[in-house]
Structure 1
């Protein structure tokens, strides 16, 4: 941060009247902060995987109103599976260019809450069940964005791990899991990337609203971690501005009619609020506004270049979960049956505040035909995605297409109505009509590949038992079609790895009995044993473990050595591609402390380098 901005922000606030300082703590409109003498306003916008720029009466925080077209990169559930920090930084830089082009100063992301339970409706917007991997991916994303002159807003702070009753729910979590699991990624990103802002969440933490939580907003964020930016509220998260400012909140969003500003002035005058807290909040907002003005630049965006990046990111995010008999990659000739509504109407992003109006969209069926021009590719819808149930006619058509093909590619997943911001899922099952179609197809065509599209973990044991090959990309953004075709036909060797465990059944999840909560309280009874930590500690069998993913080639790890280093241990290992295809391997290094005085997981992820290794 330029030191002159610090000085200028403090000087600007020093010459303001109390009412002006209070006004800086509330937005002037839905997406814009307030201005004051010597302090400009700045513009904010959703979202983490694509810009959702709104103006005028279209403004809303639910993704319902119109927005300007933008690139939709893979949401975090997909992009996280790349495990690729360099790619994250390039996506952040591209988002900065689009934000600059559309007059946005602060982009509301990344979302780095931990995927505590597979049923959370907003898991598509978060990176992982592991805090180290989350910070490993979020830090370069913030660096890329802010390197392009646009501020990040790290969210949702903190312990916001369910959508159920989210305006009132209290996340009741002990200090160790709070620090080691739910705050760890925030701490690392703040220390390493210095985001301009942090967004506090709707929920309560141990009974105290996040927007009024002095322990989090002041003691931890500022005193322990040295955060120098502004704390802004999630939209509509503040009920008591005076209490929030005293706790450490700087900016309430969206704007109000002036009631809250007046309440701050009255509280200072009657002695219930220290004016120094108002000064702190006003200075933080002024600093952010001056940073935005300092970094504004005229840019032009080549959306074809960004579309190519979206395709690359989507391709790198696809995980190969099963490939019995080396069914994949497919031959580019012969007869291919493509089945499923998602092949022509792809599910590529989540629902709610992050919903992007796309500049372009790759349709999987179109891209499959383009990638295999010598093949005969026929499509059948197979099932509906509107919840109306199965159709015998649609299923029969799918079976006939599969019977007359050499291979069937079946697209399965969840519609936006099945998962979204604002509600959690009751189950992780695929719709029964989709499984019925898959069973019928496999009965006549054993060479069946399943392509999955969903923002959350699915119950895949029935699918695993039925088919020889499975691809999963989570949600892949608007480059989904080309990415899927590239992997299906081997133009790209899949290298995605799971960022969350896929259990044999949802009841095996460590948080199962304590999610989403009851009577507006969620007890984090699993403690630090979240995700793979819990499965490993209980020696619980899973379908696909955290970090899992196959390749079209094979790798050998040789000459492993662990040596003392300046900052801990240095791990060295040689990687050799033992197959015939170039591939990208993700080296995952885990550590454990066997003599710990407190209960710990058997192993925890500590290092994630990525390597591209040529064949031979």
Structure 2
């Protein structure tokens, strides 16, 4: 773990004493769209940052959002945060971080703006595909390993967006009313884990306001919690255009201001800050604290010269290599979720298939070049159609019809500045065209079904719907896909329904479909992983990191609280987000949190729950009772008892992923610090408290509980 040492702080103090006010101010605001100013006379380089959590963004001109290079900045397209969380595998989170850190350093950057670890409050948030989960424990476990991996390469990870950046509508100005309990139990824990367990070196302040105070002016968040409670010693940076006032942001623990326009000298931390210091409105000591934090991180990353002028050896990194394409594939393979598989329809028997019909525009699309700041200039990205053809080979005739119309999303280079305003989606409706495409697909499906040949539908969302700067307005599939799927199932009841998307969708036809497979924006090789699951080359082991509700009206952010409003949003649902609400209120869902099927089966037995020193140990035996090797995720949920307050009936406290061959049994042990296992934020006392006991539930999802016990 990279840490700020006494040697780092000593060097930072020495350099700080030699800096002029002009030099200090140059170090804490942008001198380019992704860099600050250096101080050449002291050997201090610029601080170079870049997006994003799914790969290093294409190189841009210093003062415009126009791409700079042709071929030299291609990188590995890594799976999205949702895909990574869907693996429930912290080792893969670490491997992803290693790949991203190496490629970031290889591209000459010092800070990568990720991981994105905001909690998914509503299925409609445009950036949900970047985020990991509705649950803080799953998010924290994946985030910690991700950060550790990134920072091995002399690169700072940047945990974002601090805090509660849960909607894109009015994202620069929306004020979110959130209880202390919800903040402490849901929206802050992943950030705390990134700081205290992973030693993250950078944290990004969010655009929004929390309880009336802008996050980049929020002394409670940036000073009281982040620095004083959690002992954060790295540097903080605003989201791009997150600073709106000089004095208010200068006097709290925000260190660096970044934005989206090229008038760098006019930024709030530039000339206006210098003038505020001259007038005595802002203390130069406030400026010094910011520069000190930046210098400490720079030295921890081996960026600053030693006293004799020599520079320490810094890792060089590398990018666009086969190693990290393999990492992307490894993650993608464990991220695919088999949602439904009635009658053992999957996997396809590739040796017996001679013809395959593929329907759906997402089969012939790629997604790396959209979504906002998560866009990637990918070395390559396979489409599902290419991957299926590649996987099945020349003995299988693959026929493709789009079924519905959806343009390949190509992100405009000027989107960044425009994204600061609420945007609207495009409406490319053409009834005659859509009817023709649907009729053609249904006719082909009827012929294939009557002949007994398999049909795969590949639909879902794209970055016209999952993207920064815009929330979806509903959970329905776009481009008329629901009507198309209904019509296809009428003539082909054995059609396999698959999706590529970043957020849940309603599935009114789900009871009719026998096989449903979910994949995310899963990187360069995501389509390969999907094809391998469909053909049985890979046994699926992904589990949902969020609930798929029946309808949007079931979601507590909409039925109890408010979401997507301009000006003010109420988090009235408090801690009852996602499965905490659905389980406690017994609300039916389409697919529950933690759900994921396999081509094999697992038996759970011998649950033992006990206290061991300051730890709660949950142990059970898992046996692969099927006919092929597979992975299961053992999930431990606690229902706290004796609190005297309303609590969710189940909360995830720990998990473990285990790989077993047929017939193999293994004891799985999940150790949870007692403070985490039994801790809760007491509303009455307005502080952390400890429950005296808990009901413990162990299973393969929040609703597929295999074993129960009591912890007294």
Q: Equivalents in 1 of 2:210, 2:313: separation in Å? A: 35
Q: Equivalents in 2 of 1:95, 1:237: separation in Å? A: 25
Show the counterpart of 1:287: 296
Higher RCO structure (Cα 8 Å, ≥6 apart): 1
Q: Does 1:472 align with 2:518?
A: yes
Question: Whose helix proportion is higher, 1 or 2?
Answer: 1
Query: For residues 347-387 of structure 1, what are the alpha-carbon distances to aligned partners after superposition, in whole Å with 9 as ceiling and x for unaligned?
Result: 46751011001101212222212222333321111110143
Show the counterpart of 2:111: 106
Of residues 117, 130, 135, the one that matches 1:130 is 135
Show the counterpart of 2:238: 233
Show the counterpart of 1:368: 388
Matches within 5 A, 1:163-242: 163-242=168-247
Of residues 371, 375, 393, the one that matches 1:351 is 371
Show the counterpart of 1:6: 9
Q: Equivalents in 1 of 2:391, 2:33: separation in Å? A: 45
Of residues 139, 142, 148, the one that matches 2:147 is 142
Query: For residues 198-239 of structure 1, what are the alpha-carbon distances to aligned partners after superposition, in whole Å with 9 as ceiling and x for unaligned?
Result: 000111111111111101100110001000000100111112
Query: For residues 54-90 of structure 1, what are the alpha-carbon distances to aligned partners after superposition, in whole Å with 9 as ceiling and x for unaligned?
Result: 23157449x9998931111111122210011100111
Q: Does 1:550 align with 2:570?
A: no
Matches within 5 A, 1:73-472: 73-254=78-259, 256-257=264-265, 260=268, 261-292=270-301, 293=303, 296-301=314-319, 303-332=321-350, 333-347=353-367, 351-373=371-393, 374-386=395-407, 387-389=428-430, 391-405=434-448, 406-431=453-478, 433-460=480-507, 462-472=508-518
| Secondary structure class of the residue paired with 2:35 | coil
Show the counterpart of 2:419: none
Q: Equivalents in 2 of 1:165, 1:64: separation in Å? A: 31
| Shift in Å, 1:441 | 1.8
Q: Equivalents in 1 of 2:551, 2:158: separation in Å? A: 35
Contact 1:241 1:252 in 2 (8 A): no
| Shift in Å, 1:259 | 5.7
| Shift in Å, 1:284 | 0.7
Show the counterpart of 2:537: 491
Q: Does 1:481 align with 2:521?
A: no
* Residues 504 and 66 of structure 1, relative CA distance in 2, 3 Å threshold: farther
> Would you say how many aligned residue pairs link Structure 1 and Structure 2?
614
Contact 1:506 1:512 in 2 (8 A): yes
Q: Equivalents in 2 of 1:199, 1:217: separation in Å? A: 10
| Secondary structure class of the residue paired with 1:463 | coil
* Residues 376 and 29 of structure 1, relative CA distance in 2, 3 Å threshold: same
Contact 1:19 1:262 in 2 (8 A): no
TM-score (norm 1): 0.96
* Residues 542 and 15 of structure 1, relative CA distance in 2, 3 Å threshold: same
| Secondary structure class of the residue paired with 2:620 | strand
| Shift in Å, 1:267 | 2.8
Q: Equivalents in 2 of 1:556, 1:59: separation in Å? A: 57
Unaligned stretches of 5+ residues in structure 2: 304-311, 408-427, 664-712
Matches within 5 A, 1:582-593: 582-593=629-640
Deviates more, 1:317-326 or 1:395-404: 395-404
Deviates more, 1:381-390 or 1:91-100: 381-390
| Shift in Å, 1:517 | 4.7
Of residues 19, 22, 37, the one that matches 1:34 is 37
Deviates more, 1:410-419 or 1:121-130: 410-419
| Shift in Å, 1:568 | 2.6
* Residues 383 and 588 of structure 1, relative CA distance in 2, 3 Å threshold: same
Q: Equivalents in 1 of 2:441, 2:512: separation in Å? A: 16
Contact 1:242 1:263 in 2 (8 A): no
TM-score (norm 2): 0.83
Q: Does 1:509 align with 2:552?
A: no
Contact 2:87 2:541 in 1 (8 A): yes
Of residues 18, 23, 27, the one that matches 1:24 is 27
Query: For residues 229-268 of structure 1, what are the alpha-carbon distances to aligned partners after superposition, in whole Å with 9 as ceiling and x for unaligned?
Result: 0010011111223221211110111472156433333333
Unaligned stretches of 5+ residues in structure 1: none
Deviates more, 1:184-193 or 1:282-291: 282-291
The two structures, once aligned, show a CA RMSD in angstroms of: 2.0
Contact 1:349 1:476 in 2 (8 A): no
Contact 1:389 1:433 in 2 (8 A): no
Runs of 4+ in 1 over 6 A off after TM superposition: 63-67
* Residues 252 and 65 of structure 1, relative CA distance in 2, 3 Å threshold: farther
Q: Equivalents in 1 of 2:482, 2:37: separation in Å? A: 53
| Shift in Å, 1:336 | 1.5
Contact 1:378 1:401 in 2 (8 A): no
Q: Equivalents in 1 of 2:369, 2:181: separation in Å? A: 34
Contact 2:341 2:516 in 1 (8 A): yes
Matches within 5 A, 1:51-66: 51-56=56-61, 59-60=64-65
